[in-house]
Amino acid sequence: MTDAPDLDRPWSLERVLELFRAPLNDLLFWSHGIHRRHFNPNEIQLSTLLSVKTGGCPEDCHYCPQSARHATSVEAGPLLPVERVVEAARQAQAAGATRFCMGAAFRGPKDRDLDHIIEYIRAVKALGLETCATLGLLTDEQAERLGQAGLDFYNHNLDTSRDYYAEIVTTRSFDDRLETLRRVRKAGMHVCCGGILGMGERMEDRAALLLELAEMDPPPESVPLNALVPVPGTPLAGRDPVPPLEFVRTVAVARILMPAAHVRLSAGRSGMSEELQALCFFAGANSIFYGEELLTTPNNEMEADRDLFRTLGIRAEMQPGRQEAHVPGD
């Protein structure tokens, strides 16, 4: 067996690449051991994601069907009424989710939009759910307002490595994204930040992305790993899927580099076999998006997830401070 990585040494790109190149059994042995030291390996955190404002985004993210620059079937719409958001949150909570995530297709919110979104946050938190929002770029003042409203997590993915980023997005920079994340931290919110696999990037890009995340101070509390869903009309529509075991390797390396983070299987999970998902859970993934739609792309049916949890002996992680939680599969 290859020697286990020295977790006390600073990470470098070469050291992260050594993890990616390690024999798979060794890599899984290391990542699963680290996972067990920080989490119950048979618990999984459930988040539900709702698009509260769909389409019409001015950005040119090459993977995104919500960009106004791409000819997709997604139609632009306004922010949802608060009542619809609260009802969706109630349904998610009843199904077992402990975190409710709200996504809006903005480059960044206008102040009048933020007023409406703060209503969502307060109403959803009143149900006892954790809240998360993804709204694009934030100013200092906007981040402060969201923090004061009680938003628990802010999602703002880096998508890929700094070197490959310009191949995927040209309307905002990698540093723009990092600046928003710094503002989120300053405002006292937790960070949800990850990337997308299968956009034509190399192993070196995946390693560099994870290193960038791990070197944040502190690293993100939540790390969503997405498999590209190629949507007709987007520039990445013709991409081949990421090889399944490369996805597993990325999960394992993320767990080793960020031992205390929740690593989430996010977009693209509907195209994963049960066996692949089980291997990802063993490698260190311990969070999923739960519900049958992710913004504008499909997700697994809830009953299929419940069946898989029963088969694997996995139960839902209870939200801290709650005495009871619905457990899928019970």
CATH code, domain carrying 57: 3.20.20.70
- Mean pLDDT, residues 3-17: 88
Residue 108: how many other CB atoms lie within 10 Å: 18
Is-catalytic flag, 64?
yes
Which listed residue (172, 255, 264, 315) is catalytic? 264
Query: In this structure, is residue 324 part of a structural domain?
Result: no
Is-catalytic flag, 132?
yes
Query: In this structure, is residue 146 part of a structural domain?
Result: yes
Is-catalytic flag, 101?
yes
The pTM is what?
A: 0.92
Domain that holds residue 273: 13-292
- Look up residue 322 and give its two tokens: 């709650």
- Look up residue 31 and give its two tokens: 């990542």
Query: Measured at the alpha carbon of residue 23, what is the angle toward residues 21 and 26, in degrees to the nearest 5?
Result: 120
Which listed residue (145, 192, 206, 249) is catalytic? 192
Is-catalytic flag, 61?
yes
Number of domains in the chain: 1
Is-catalytic flag, 280?
no
Structure confidence by residue, pLDDT tens digits, 27-70: 999 999 999 999 999 999 999 999 999 887 889 899 998 887 88
Confidence of residue 293 (pLDDT cuts 50, 70, 90): low
Q: Rounded to whole angstroms, how far apart are CA atoms 296 and 285?
A: 23
Is-catalytic flag, 57?
yes
- Look up residue 146 and give its two tokens: 């969201």
Q: Rounded to whole angstroms, how far apart are CA atoms 206 and 199?
A: 11
Query: In this structure, is residue 135 part of a structural domain?
Result: yes
Query: In this structure, is residue 254 part of a structural domain?
Result: yes
